[in-house]
Structure 1
């Protein structure tokens, strides 16, 4: 037990003895504050369930999501062997929803790996260099912001062709400008701080300053923005799938499932309803997590 108390004292120390201790202690305190937010924890629960379902899809799914049984087409929910019913080709909707979670997570992960990184690069360069570079990069950012996200994604996919890879590129193309704006605003504040001036006096080059000192201070704001944007990314991916420009049949993509089910919405409501509910709950989970992170990370939210 003494070891546990020592660990807690080490985590809660107000005077960390090393940079590692400071970072771990900050992460611990962040988790404690986040744990007190019930809505944020509910969002984390939804996202954790999504991850687990996608990882263990072959074990959880009761049937092959691609297996067709025309004799059981459009079977209602709670039919024997089909908890959520079947679609127009007799495929089990529950199994297709479970495997569709993999496509959703894949799109989210790839967009996270592309858009925030590119936006961070553009924003920090614009904010740190300034001058005509700032004007040019922010002008380019404003051009992208002028177009509605879904319209720009549709134009890109229509130009290069349908498919999940092109859909990811299209969503990333429309998602990076807000991150660039946030990174630029943070960089402008950090650039004029005293510790940056001290680092310059030590002979540090601009690239080292940006990578080692500016980027880490921009990440917290970007993380909050990323979690809040996940719902929009999922909806955009579903919109492309609904229009036939995302994942192609017979992939169990949720937007494509809704598109198929809209033809039977009056008589066989379950075909489109359950994929729509899946999109709703996953989007809700990311929104709740984003709101919780914003409340925890924003120091203004904790004024006594």
Structure 2
């Protein structure tokens, strides 16, 4: 039975590329890298929950990028005559105590919340990765000193330590980022150290030493890249916790300050009218829940993809 018209050319056009990517005998490092990436994507896309998390995050990125250009209302504009208006055609998510449109504040706040979370991860991942790989590869006194510093940081609950630093530094977005960054790096250092201890005894590392490669080259060329996948997966899973911590600092008044449309502050500002105007606190709370869930689903999918037991 012949396939429908138009389907055969598409199949014949795609099959060579798929065969080229999935070949067991790649002709170049580039082909091998592309084939490995394609296999990982197929494994990731086969998980519906991981794809759901990715879709939610893509929607968040699009909203943060172009949403403020589409939403007409000013997130800071106050209309006291329309305060605590329930969701309607003019204000899809209602208004808050000062008559500000919640949808507009939610859209503009997505930029701030996502930027803070990404900035924290960008700051802490290189620090934790560097400390962990140096400690695991060098060993001896270097490992002892770096890991004792890490143990001291891990001895305190992260959110309590972040609150202490945020209170000492003062309220504000920048201080919230610094406070969260100071407390978030130890788990990455521990993970990178464990990976480095295993990789340092690998045969190809011994071969690189015999060929005259310096310790710095081995660290930067082999150890750090091979540890990066596990650390990135951990960072993706931790993004949910970072977003909740950012919202928590905003809720306590130690993060973004009014009239900033940060989601945690929006929840805090609506807690006093929760029974009379549920939408003021509930809608930004649901946004925090959705983004945190999306990062967890994405992190679970990446963990399965990069798991060596699954061929990652």
Q: What is the TM-score normalised by the length of structure 1?
A: 0.96
Matches within 5 A, 1:1-304: 4-78=14-88, 80-301=89-310
Shift of 1:227: 1.0
Partners in 2 of 1:9 and 1:17 — Cα distance? 13
Structure 2 residues not aligned, in runs of 5+: 1-8
Deviation at 1:229, TM superposition (A): 0.3
Equivalenced residues, count = 302
Are the aligned partners of 1:53 and 1:60 in contact in 2 as well (CA < 8 Å)? no
Conserved? CA contact 2:162–2:183, under 8 Å: yes
Q: Cα distance, 1:302 vs. partner?
A: 6.8
Cα distance per residue 1:99-124 (max 9 Å; x no partner): 11101110122112111110000000
Distance 2:50 2:300 in 1: 7
Q: Deviations over 1:166-220 (max 9, x none)?
A: 1111111111111101100010001011100110111111111000111111011
Partners of 2:68 and 2:104 within 8 A in 1: no
RMSD: 1.4
The alpha-carbon deviation at position 301 of structure 1 amounts to 4.8
Displacement of 1:67 after TM fit?
A: 0.7
Q: Deviations over 1:220-259 (max 9, x none)?
A: 1111101110110000000000011111111100000011
TM-score (norm 2): 0.94
1:77 CA displacement: 1.2
Q: Deviations over 1:84-103 (max 9, x none)?
A: 10001100001101111101
Using the TM superposition, give the Cα deviation of residue 62 of structure 1 relative to its aligned residue in structure 2, in angstroms: 3.5
- Structure 1 unmatched runs, 5+: none
**CA deviation string 1:136-183 (max 9, x = no partner):** 111111111111111111111111121111111111111111110110
Query: Retained in 2: the 8 A contact 1:11–1:24?
Result: yes
